[in-house]
Structure 1
Amino acid sequence: MEGMLQAGDFVGVSFWLVSVAMVAATVFFFYEGMSVKKEWKLSMTIAGLVTLVAAIHYYYMRDYWVASVIAGTPDSPIVYRYIDWLITVPLLMIEFFIILKAVGASISTNSFWRLLVGTLVMLIGGFAGELMLISASLGFIIGMVGWAIIIWEIFGGEASKAAEANAGVKSAFNALRLIVLVGWAIYPLGYIFGYMMGSVDSGSLNIIYNLADFVNKILFGLIIWNVAVRESSDA
């Protein structure tokens, strides 16, 4: 049927699976957020907002992909994807600050601003490079500077030291920062091979990005949910 997802379109299928998973995760996070103690409600709400925003954008991205396939010119929904990231990724980053505050860790607002600014620098650099507003190489360099700020803050900066001093959140913090280090590495690799080298087709690149979003947003939220439930039970 014209205009509908085809059985052989595995990239389109990945868009559908992730979009529905984001909706399911949103319901789960909002529902579970009602049963944790008040210090963790904000973290659970943000986890739900991340998947909610992603779900909305994935509904548009999947339609964009299917339309481009039908037109015979498979294309990546770059603008939709970056609009999603510009909202969800900063929310994910400030979760580090919020969970530390939830357990009463000593941390200043400077950490919050370093995480937020680093995230915006990373995203704006990548977006400008992919849209060819600046050279792909310059966009990549700017994006990596932003990522480096984030990595430094959560592995060696104030946020890292605050987590190390608090046993209640230390394990969750370690898991979250591994997602940022390992899971997020998929995006710059996709940028290099897909946009700077042109060695990855748009279909493969979108499957990789979709699976990365699935892990980096839903799993991120599940880790926060796990520590929120544990801390609430202990209380």
Structure 2
Amino acid sequence: MSLATILSLNQYNIVYNVLSFVIATMLAGFIGFLLIRSSLPAKHRNALTLGTLVMAIADYHYFRIFNSFTAAYHIVGGKYVPTGIPFNEAYRYVDWLLTVPLLLAELVTVLELTPKESKVLISKLVVASSLMIALGYPGQISPVHSTARTLWAAASSVFFVYILYVLFVEIQKSLDKQPEGVRPLMFTLRALLLLSWGFYPIAYILPSFVGGATGIVVSQVGYSIADVVAKPLFTYFVYKVSKLKAEVEEKEEADLRSSLAA
């Protein structure tokens, strides 16, 4: 979707401030997760390590998105007019191409699967997510009311639905294997997954209905909200799952030592 549209002062500021907020959020997530990573036993750090890497990649790309957006506009007569420098939507898709597979692997890490099962599942999800993103990009840069945008969106949605279905099933299956106290957190992870991933198609589709400057704002803000929920917030709950699992294991080991000593 082209940003060659005049924006009002408020419309420009909404996108500007939201992008700025996401940059700060991703940076805070990166530093925070890096600092608390050592609080987990080594065997439970993998998921948080992946999440920390996601924060770093996302923060870099949001910085590039922010710079590209500000370069695409300048203020003239109280409105923001395109400068002629194109807004580079590819930064967002490159970010997703790198971070979505990492987020999926992050989730699989806490599903209580065998190493073989984890490897097979991650391989499937990485391929599906790569195809989903690669097929979505041509539609993103197509005119909002074009047939091409609809066709690319439909092709991308096939893999989108497949990923959600697989993860929903795998999370449900893993609940019986999880310690009792961890199960509510797994339900929360599943809810966050559905919530955040549900934002992406809305942000993709809505510009076709509202169009113009409003469509630009809806798209950029929608994607940004989805990324905050899907990355730092999701990773925080993955950390909570890992932390609780470590505490349960520590208690079980302590109980076992006590029983043997008795």
* TM class, shorter-length: 0.7 to 0.9
What is the aligned partner in structure 1 of residue 20 from structure 2?
Answer: 16
Picking from 28, 31, 41, the partner of 1:27 is 31
C-alpha distance 170-105 of structure 1, shift in aligned 2 (>3 A): farther
Residues 57-101 of structure 1: CA distance to partner in whole angstroms, max 9, x if unpaired? Answer: 111111111111217128754111101111111111111221125
Is the alpha carbon distance of 1:227 and 1:104 closer, same or farther for their aligned partners in structure 2, counting shifts above 3 Å?
Answer: farther
1:167 equivalenced with 2:179 (yes/no): yes
Q: Which one of the candidate residues 34, 56, 59 is aligned to 2:60?
A: 56
Distance, in Å, in 2 between the alignment partners of 1:48 and 1:15 is: 20
- Checking the alignment, whether the CA contact within 8 Å between 1:76 and 1:202 is kept in structure 2 is no
Letter in 2 for 1:111: L
| Alpha-carbon contact 1:121-1:142 (below 8 Å) kept | no
State the match for 1:128 in structure 2. 138
Measure how far apart 1:44 and its partner are. 0.8
How does the TM-score come out when normalised to structure 1?
Answer: 0.85
Mapped contact 1:120–1:146 kept (Cα < 8 A) = no
Number of the residue aligned with 1:68: 72
Distance in 1 (CA, whole Å) between partners of 2:114 and 2:183 is 13
Give the AA of the match of 1:44: L
Q: How does 1:86-235 map to 2 (within 5 A)?
A: 86-101=97-112, 107-132=117-142, 135-156=148-169, 158=170, 160-167=172-179, 169-194=182-207, 196-197=208-209, 199=211, 200-234=214-248, 235=250
For 1:3, the equivalent position in structure 2 comes to none
CA distance, structure 2, for counterparts of residue 87 and residue 139 of structure 1: 20
Whole-angstrom distance in 1 between the partners of 2:26 and 2:118: 32
Q: Distance in 2 between matches of 1:45 and 1:155?
A: 23
Q: Distance in 1 between matches of 2:52 and 2:21?
A: 18
From the superposition, tell whether residues 174 and 122 of structure 1 become closer, same or farther in structure 2 (CA, over 3 Å). Answer: farther
Displacement after TM superposition at 1:198 (Å): 5.1
Q: CA distance change for structure 1 residues 139 and 173 in 2, over 3 Å: closer, same or farther?
A: farther
Distance 2:140 2:58 in 1: 20
How many percent of aligned residue pairs carry the same amino acid? 24
TM-score normalized by the length of structure 2? 0.77
Shift of 1:159: 5.1
Where does structure 1 lack aligned partners over 5 or more consecutive residues? 1-5
Alignment of structure 1 residues 71-86 onto 2, 5 Å: 72-73=81-82, 77-86=88-97
Q: Which amino acid aligns with 2:187?
A: N
Q: Deviations over 1:32-59 (max 9, x none)?
A: 1111011211111111111111111111
Q: Which has the larger radius of gyration?
A: 2
Q: Secondary structure at the match of 1:100?
A: coil
Contact 2:68 2:88 in 1 (8 A): yes
State the alpha-carbon separation in 2 of the partners of residues 76 and 171 from structure 1: 42
Match of 1:36 among 24, 33, 40: 40
